[in-house]
Amino acid sequence: MESMTQAIEALKREWQAFNATVAKPGQCLFCGGRRLWWNGWRQRTASVLVGEQVVHVEEVACRLVKCGLPSCGRSWTLRPPGLVPQRHYQLCVVARAASSYLFDPEATQEQVAVSMACARRTVGRWLGWLAGIASPADLLRHVVEASDVAEIPPLREVAALGRKARSAARKAVLESAARVLCLVEALGQALSLPPPGLRAVVERVLAGRSGVTTDHSPRILEFARRHLGGVGGTLPM
């Protein structure tokens, strides 16, 4: 218990250090204006993975920035590393839950939900979301480009697929989720991003932008295609 408490306190100190040292952005996200000021704080909660345990953290402070141009005046949130917008359960938790369910032949959604401190339906939503955030073929192309290899090793298959999927539609969702999970991990490694790949790749695609959700339209790849490009500096999705 003491070591877990210490790990949580260390995480909080890391977030506090970010808030204390983060530089004010150079321009407004919305209009490009360069007249900005700090605009206070907002508090949020988050469930994150600390070691092997999901921990609910209260009162996570996030700095607010506001555009000073009267024609704009919009504000947005600077989130500490690892936190994505409009999502309580962070992507480290989602990655662990999906991996546990998809690749453990004995796993059930109920068991995974208990270990992740969430509802069974939540695990099901995560799997469906994961299956839809990217085309495996597109991800594979990016992995090959980023790693400069002709092909990658075979992807892991869903364990006990026959028991977990009673319909063709459910089977397709689980197979797609497994491929996406494996490929974003491979892409994260190819780009030298910290694990889990799901969190690191999505964070890089979002690139601190405001008004973007990982749950609703525009989907991650659609957003990335419109706003990002170039293999060197940003994720070419």
Angle in degrees, 0-180, between the axes of helices 120-132 and 168-190, rounded to the nearest 10 = 70
Question: Residue 220 pairs with which residues in a beta bridge?
Answer: none
At residue 230, the pLDDT reads: 39
pLDDT in tens, 64-77: 999 999 999 999 99
Residue 98 pLDDT class (50, 70, 90 cuts): very high
A 10 A CB-CB count for 112 gives 24
Instruction: Work out the percent of the chain whose per-residue pLDDT is above 90.
Output: 60
Give the Å distances, CA to CA, from 231 to 94, 156, 184, 198, 228. 27, 26, 16, 18, 10
The stretch 38-51 carries a mean pLDDT of 93
Residue by residue, DSSP assigns the chain as -HHHHHHHHHHHHHHHHHHHHPPPPSS-TTT----EEEEEEEEEEEEEEETTEEEEEEEEEEEEEEE--TTT--EEEEPPTT--TT-SB-HHHHHHHHHHHHH-TT--HHHHHHHHTS-HHHHHHHHHHHHHSS-HHHHHHHHHHHHT-S--PPPPPPTTHHHH--SHHHHHHHHHHHHHHHHHHHHHHHTTPPSPHHHHHHHHHHTT-SS--SSSSSPHHHHHHHH---TTTS---
User: Between the ranges 10-14, 143-147, 217-221, where is the mean pLDDT highest?
Assistant: 10-14
pLDDT in tens, 111-120: 999 999 999 9
Mean pLDDT for the chain overall: 87
The stretch 181-202 carries a mean pLDDT of 92
User: Which residues are CB-contacts of 90 (< 8 A; sequence separation ≥ 6)?
Assistant: 46, 47, 48, 49, 82, 83, 84, 199
User: Between the ranges 8-17, 25-34, 51-60, 105-114, where is the mean pLDDT highest?
Assistant: 105-114
Instruction: Work out the percent of the chain whose per-residue pLDDT is above 70.
Output: 86
At residue 232, the pLDDT reads: 36
Q: What is the dihedral sign for C-alpha 109, 111, 112, 113?
A: positive
Which residue, among 15, 73, 65, has the nearest Cα to 40 in the 3D structure? 65
At residue 81, the pLDDT reads: 87
The stretch 30-36 carries a mean pLDDT of 93
pLDDT in tens, 117-167: 999 999 999 999 999 888 888 888 888 888 877 778 889 999 999 999 999
At residue 47, the pLDDT reads: 95
Domain definitions of the chain by residue range: 2-78, 91-227
Give the Å distances, CA to CA, from 105 to 48, 94, 100, 131, 158. 25, 18, 9, 19, 8
Tell me the two tokens of residue 206.
């979002």
